[in-house]
Amino acid sequence: MPYLLVAPVVVVMGAILGYPIYNLVRLSLQKYGLTELIQHHGTEVGLHNFGTVLHDQVFWHTLLRTIVFTVANVGLTMVIGTLMALLLVRVSTWVRILLTAGLVLVWSMPPVVAVQVWNWMTNSQNGVLNYVLTELHFGNFFQHNWFVTPFSQLAMVTTLVVWGALPFVAITVYAALSQVPHDLVEAAQIDGARSWRIFRDVTMPVIAPVLLILTSLSILWDFGVFTQAWLLIGPGHIVPSNFLMGIYLYEEGYVRTDFGRGAAISILMLVMVAAMSVVYVRRMLRIGEVE
Amino acid sequence: MSPRTARRLGWNAVGIVVFVTMVFPVFWMISTAFKTDDQLNSVTPTWVPTHPTLRHFRDALARPYFWTDVKNSLIVVLVTVLIAMALAFFAAVALSKYRFTGRKLFIVLMIGIQMLPATGLIIPLYVVLARYHEVNALTGVILVYLTFALPFSVWTLRGFIIGIPKDLEEAAMVDGSTRLGAFMRILFPLVAPGLVATSVFAFITSWNEYIWARTLLNDSSKQTITVWLSYFLGTSRSTDWGALMAASTLTAIPVVIFFLLVQRRIAFGLTAGAVRG
């Protein structure tokens, strides 16, 4: 009986994902460009595609850049998100309701919409960001262009990605904080423990599993960022010096219609992501087993 | 004022600053959409549109392909959600009510697939779909959307089905019904809210999707609304920011409404059990 129930999903997933993944492996061993796409037939080249990718300076630079980008984004998201959750515990009820409602609103913004709002806020002619920074005396940002250097471009992408990810982290950590036993915190306070020690020794152990899951999810998401970087930097301004892994793959494989090489990069990327997702999948599996 | 009250007031002030900072981009989008051109082009920003105008909304709606692409989005999203729900529901029942060989593998696949980055799958899916002439067709996009909508729906629905008390189901079985029969008659109404919540979430993810739609759909008349919105900026130096923000607001509205309805039910699905686990 259970097999009958699972069968439709297995069949459909096998057809729309299993077969393409089998194809991915085959493509990666072939020379497969536009001509081959039309003829439906590639030429076997062995591991040539992997060889050229692994000898490509751009690949290694992109990988390094993506790792730095991921660490920065995940770090900022987790630290600020946790701080927001701790703030939610400390404010009055009406502020908490207001802030939570605001966070949910931000959470619900479609990424493409958020990108367009960022485009408008950061444009050099009359973007509100330059105006506010100048008014707050951070310097003269009159007509400052944020999209000149790769660092500045990716910094803007980071603000967009972190802004979008904060609500999920803040609200989830807040929910976990409500599990922290009150009497334990009070006992620690009576003993004269400082708030940092209470956080480290009482709060942290309770919310650690949630933080672990959120961190591994964030790593997976930020490592694979595409839409925000692609659209905010702008397809016309995407160059090797600002590539992230997803964009490198898209440019090399799809835009240049070198599908064999693209397939090789895809496999390398998927293997990296699979390795990173082990923590999350194992955790979720245990939940699936318990129930 | 006691130190306690003072501290609380301090935190409240911080809370309001955080609220203003986080919500500002959304506020700015809506506020811009209603401004006059003079207010838009001025270097000194106008915070609240004093003479709100609907002109930008009219301009956005009058742009070519807006309604066509909204229709495309709706077709893709609705078909995806319907197929995903129909298939995922039965698989979710199997996962939550039966133990069987391969169950663990199935769960690992369902969770693992959701973690794969879309870009990593673009090349193989594009080549396969091109072979079967499903590039530049909504069918191709629907098939691709199922790759993430199905695993997500199976996993989320499973959570809802588990939440139902076992005695209810057993009570029905005592009456002599078969297991599945009992399930259908007694539990289906109980799972309905979960089905709605899962559908809405699958709706939102598909509506927001960008990379696949952009890669697979080339004709302006066949694109989805997110792709339409992404091409709005164009290459000209004089962007119509007012119309762009009006269009952005319109694209976001259905998602925001739906999200507010189901956020509480779904949000914790991703980490559910982490606290208890």
Res. B274: pLDDT tops 50: no
Cβ proximity of A32 and B127 under 8 Å:
yes
Task: Report the pLDDT averaged over residues A43-56.
Answer: 93
Q: Does B119 touch chain A (CB under 8 A)?
A: yes
Task: Report the pLDDT averaged over residues B261-274.
Answer: 58
Structure confidence at residue B179 (pLDDT) = 64
DSSP-assigned beta bridge partners for residue A43: A31
B12: enclosing H helix or E strand: helix B3-33
Res. A284: pLDDT tops 90: no
Structure confidence at residue B272 (pLDDT) = 45
Q: Comparing C-alpha atoms, which of B127, B269, B256, B249 is closest to residue B203?
A: B256
- List the 189-218 stretch of A: residues with Cβ below 8 A of B: 209-210, 212-214, 217
Res. A234: pLDDT tops 50: yes
In this structure, the answer to whether residues B87 and B207 fall within a common structural domain is yes
The verdict on residue B58 lying in a domain is: no
Q: Check A254 against B277: CB less than 8 A apart.
A: no
Q: Comparing C-alpha atoms, which of A231, A54, A167 is closest to residue B214?
A: A231
Q: Does B127 touch chain A (CB under 8 A)?
A: yes
Task: Report the pLDDT averaged over residues B103-124.
Answer: 89
- List the 244-263 stretch of B: residues with Cβ below 8 A of A: 244-245, 247-248, 251-252, 255-256, 259-260, 263
Calculate the alpha carbon distances from B130 to A25, A38, A241, B7 in Å.
17, 9, 31, 63
What is the C-alpha end-to-end distance of chain A, expressed in Å?
20
The CA distance from B200 to A237, in Å, is: 36
pLDDT one-digit tens code per residue, A23-43: 999 999 999 998 888 888 888
Mean pLDDT taken over chain A: 91
B34 by Cβ neighbours in 10 Å (0-12 / 13-18 / 19+) ranks as buried
**Of residues A104, A126, A175, nearest to B263 (C-beta):** A104
Could you give the angle at which helices A2-13 and B103-115 cross, rounded to 10 degrees? 30
In this structure, the answer to whether residues B72 and B15 fall within a common structural domain is no
Cβ proximity of B84 and B150 under 8 Å:
yes
The verdict on residue B216 lying in a domain is: yes
The string of DSSP letters for B133-159 reads T-TTSHHHHHHHHHHHHHHHHHHHHHH
The CA distance from A247 to B52, in Å, is: 40
Largest Cα separation within chain B, whole Å, is 76
In this structure, the answer to whether residues B28 and B80 fall within a common structural domain is no
The CA distance from B126 to A31, in Å, is: 16
pLDDT band at A260 (very low <50, low <70, confident <90, very high): very high
Lowest mean pLDDT among A114-123, B84-93, B162-171: B162-171
Torsion of CA B33, B36, B37, B39, to 10 degrees: -100
The string of DSSP letters for B24-50 reads HHHHHHHHHHT--HHHHH-SSPPSS-S
Three-state DSSP at A145 gives coil
pLDDT one-digit tens code per residue, A67-121: 999 999 999 999 999 999 999 999 999 999 999 999 999 999 999 999 999 999 9
The verdict on residue B164 lying in a domain is: yes
Q: How is chain A split into domains, by residue range?
A: 1-46, 56-290
Could you give the angle at which helices A57-90 and B3-33 cross, rounded to 10 degrees? 130
Pick from B119, B144, B161, B257 the residue to mutate for testing the A interface (most A CBs within 10 Å). B119
Structure confidence at residue A291 (pLDDT) = 52
- List the 174-233 stretch of B: residues with Cβ below 8 A of A: 179-180, 204, 207-208, 210-211, 215, 226, 229-230, 232-233
Structure confidence at residue B267 (pLDDT) = 54
Structure confidence at residue B173 (pLDDT) = 62
Pick from B38, B123, B248, B258 the residue to mutate for testing the A interface (most A CBs within 10 Å). B123
Pick from A117, A142, A216, A226 the residue to mutate for testing the B interface (most B CBs within 10 Å). A117
* Tokens 């759909």, located at residue: B217
pLDDT band at B275 (very low <50, low <70, confident <90, very high): very low
pLDDT band at B273 (very low <50, low <70, confident <90, very high): very low
Contacts of B113 in chain A (CB under 8 A): 13, 17
Res. B50: pLDDT tops 90: no
**In CATH, what is the architecture of A56-290?**
Orthogonal Bundle (1.10)
Pick from A36, A76, A91, A257 the residue to mutate for testing the B interface (most B CBs within 10 Å). A91
The boundaries of the domain holding residue B135 are: 64-270
Task: Report the pLDDT averaged over residues B115-136.
Answer: 90
The verdict on residue B14 lying in a domain is: yes
The nearest CA of chain A is from the CA of B225 a distance in Å of 10
Mean pLDDT taken over chain B: 86
In this structure, the answer to whether residues B72 and B109 fall within a common structural domain is yes
Highest mean pLDDT pick, A58-62, B170-174, B177-181: A58-62
Torsion of CA B184, B185, B190, B195, to 10 degrees: 40
> Cα B197 vs. chain centroid, distance in angstroms?
11
The nearest CA of chain A is from the CA of B45 a distance in Å of 7
CATH number at residue B97: 1.10.3720.10
Q: Check B229 against A40: CB less than 8 A apart.
A: no
Res. B270: pLDDT tops 60: no
Structure confidence at residue B180 (pLDDT) = 66
Task: Report the pLDDT averaged over residues B201-221.
Answer: 92
Structure confidence at residue B114 (pLDDT) = 86
Sign, CA dihedral A262-A264-A268-A273, equals positive
Residue of chain A with shortest Cα separation from B149 = A13
At A218, which amino acid appears? S
Q: Does A255 touch chain B (CB under 8 A)?
A: no
In this structure, the answer to whether residues B49 and B85 fall within a common structural domain is no
A30: enclosing H helix or E strand: strand A30-31
Task: Report the pLDDT averaged over residues B92-106.
Answer: 87
A9 by Cβ neighbours in 10 Å (0-12 / 13-18 / 19+) ranks as buried
At B134, which amino acid appears? E
Q: What percent of chain B has pLDDT over 70?
A: 87
Q: Comparing C-alpha atoms, which of B107, B111, B77 is closest to residue B271?
A: B111
Contacts of A227 in chain B (CB under 8 A): 210-211
pLDDT band at B277 (very low <50, low <70, confident <90, very high): very low
pLDDT band at B194 (very low <50, low <70, confident <90, very high): confident
In this structure, the answer to whether residues B134 and B100 fall within a common structural domain is yes
Structure confidence at residue A35 (pLDDT) = 87
**Of residues A107, A113, A116, nearest to B259 (C-beta):** A107
Res. B93: pLDDT tops 90: no
In this structure, the answer to whether residues B107 and B41 fall within a common structural domain is no
In this structure, the answer to whether residues B23 and B126 fall within a common structural domain is no
Three-state DSSP at A47 gives coil
Res. A139: pLDDT tops 90: no
Could you give the angle at which helices A93-107 and A57-90 cross, rounded to 10 degrees? 150
Res. B3: pLDDT tops 70: yes
Cβ proximity of B140 and B122 under 8 Å:
no
In this structure, the answer to whether residues B39 and B174 fall within a common structural domain is no
The nearest CA of chain B is from the CA of A99 a distance in Å of 5
In this structure, the answer to whether residues B128 and B38 fall within a common structural domain is no
In this structure, the answer to whether residues B81 and B156 fall within a common structural domain is yes
The total number of structural domains in chain B stands at: 2
Task: Report the pLDDT averaged over residues A134-140.
Answer: 90
Q: Check B29 against A107: CB less than 8 A apart.
A: no
Cβ proximity of B245 and A116 under 8 Å:
yes
Of B32, B53, B74, the position where a domain reaches its end is B53
Structure confidence at residue B24 (pLDDT) = 97
Res. A1: pLDDT tops 80: no
Cβ proximity of A158 and A242 under 8 Å:
no
Q: What percent of chain A has pLDDT over 70?
A: 99
The nearest CA of chain A is from the CA of B169 a distance in Å of 16
Res. B175: pLDDT tops 80: no
Task: Report the pLDDT averaged over residues B141-146.
Answer: 95
Q: Comparing C-alpha atoms, which of A92, A89, A97 is closest to residue A198?
A: A89
In this structure, the answer to whether residues B130 and B240 fall within a common structural domain is yes
Structure confidence at residue B276 (pLDDT) = 33
Q: Check B275 against A224: CB less than 8 A apart.
A: no
The verdict on residue B192 lying in a domain is: yes
